[in-house]
Structure 1
Amino acid sequence: MMKEKHGYIRSIDVAEALGVTKPSVTYTTKRLRENGYITMNKDGLITLTDLGMEVASRTWNRHKLLTEFFMRLGVDEKTAREDACKVEHDLSEKTFEAICRHADLEKQKYPDGKE
């Protein structure tokens, strides 16, 4: 989202967007680099690797579907988005699939046919 909005991603922008400290982002970006999810150039600009983009796309898809599900339950959009952020990473695939089935969102789960 940041790349689309600004054309680049910097640690300071991530910290501000998430409401965390820059040292927290520095620690996390180090781990993400070590695990092959991102690269950083000499100017500190962050780029997702193919693996990182795959994980990010899957997480973003979960976020959108969970937000929609919460809104269908009657939760206002702002709260639904905030709550989706809280659970999208920790929710098991089994529970996520059950939510999709229950809310008739299964067809939207992986629109490109990939899991």
Structure 2
Amino acid sequence: MEVSKPSVCYAVGTLREGGFLTTDEKHYLHLTELGQNVAEKIYERHCFFTKHFISIGVDPETAEADAYRIEHDISAETYEQLKESITKE
């Protein structure tokens, strides 16, 4: 995945401190209920954007990459309004 070990350790530490995951004695990662909920919301956004970008003619690979960038940064309010306006059409 071309990610350095220090980057992974930092990310895991941040997620653990935020209450999104735990690690067991074998260092396996486990999402907490909060982590699972957040992951599901982000995945929903990803699928939504990917699907709609492809439907307007964006190459699937580009659609995936763009959805990845947007899914984390868009506010909940804007996402919900956008989703509502698109599903009304």
Range of TM-score over shorter length: 0.7 to 0.9
Q: Deviations along 1:76-97, whole A, 9 cap, x unmatched?
A: 1111111101110101122212
Q: Which runs of 5+ in 1 are unaligned?
A: 1-15, 106-115
C-alpha distance in structure 1 between counterparts of 2:4 and 2:56, whole Å: 34
- Asked if residue 80 in structure 1 is aligned to residue 88 in structure 2, the reply is no
- Asked if residue 103 in structure 1 is aligned to residue 67 in structure 2, the reply is no
State the TM-score, normalized to the length of structure 2.
Answer: 0.87
Q: CA deviation at 1:20?
A: 2.1
Q: Which runs of 5+ in 2 are unaligned?
A: none
CA contact (8 A) 1:36 1:51 kept: yes
- Asked if residue 22 in structure 1 is aligned to residue 5 in structure 2, the reply is yes
More helix, by proportion: 2
- Aligned pair count reads 88
Structure 1 ranges of 4+ moved more than 6 A: none
C-alpha distance in structure 2 between counterparts of 1:38 and 1:59, whole Å: 16
CA contact (8 A) 1:69 1:103 kept: no
